[in-house]
Amino acid sequence: MVVLFDGVCNLCNAWVNFVIDHDRFGVFVFGAQQSARGRAILEELHLPAPVLAGIVVVAGRRVYTDSAAILEVCARLPPPWRLIGFLRIIPRPIRDAVYRWVARHRYAWFGKSATCRVPAPELEHRFLT
């Protein structure tokens, strides 16, 4: 399962760290949307590159964006994080409105890095190059 994220967004990087810390079985592989591989995947999916306002999750032939992406990741994490996936019962337009509101303000609230995240050597295998 591939998680494409905004590589310069501090909130997105914190999310990636959270998922890595809780993904016991190494289900997720990560890629910055700004990277060559990230842009290629977005192009293959016919998504505007980069889709920096959101996380994009690719699971086989399924593509999840916005709140659905976050909740799909949570649903695949171990308990208690898996329970967050139950928020899918909230209608998607409402979830996505909240998600997009946070996304619009994420740089102001959490900051932005000058460059994309570089994974630590022990995590390189979890990142697309």
Judge if the upstream peptide bond of residue 80 is cis by omega within 30 degrees of 0. yes
Summarize pLDDT for 50-75 with one digit per residue, the tens.
Answer: 666 789 999 988 999 999 999 999 99
Number of structural domains found in the chain = 1
pLDDT band at 120 (very low <50, low <70, confident <90, very high): confident
CA distances from 63 to 57, 103, 106, 114, 115 (A): 6, 19, 23, 28, 26
Q: What is the pTM of this model?
A: 0.89
| Backbone φ and ψ of 35, nearest 5° | -75, 160
User: Measured between alpha carbons, how far is 126 from 29 in angstroms, rounded to an integer?
Assistant: 5
Concatenated DSSP letters of 55-77: -EEEETTEEEEHHHHHHHHHHTS
The residue segments making up the domain with residue 117 are 2-126
Summarize pLDDT for 87-105 with one digit per residue, the tens.
Answer: 999 999 999 999 999 999 9
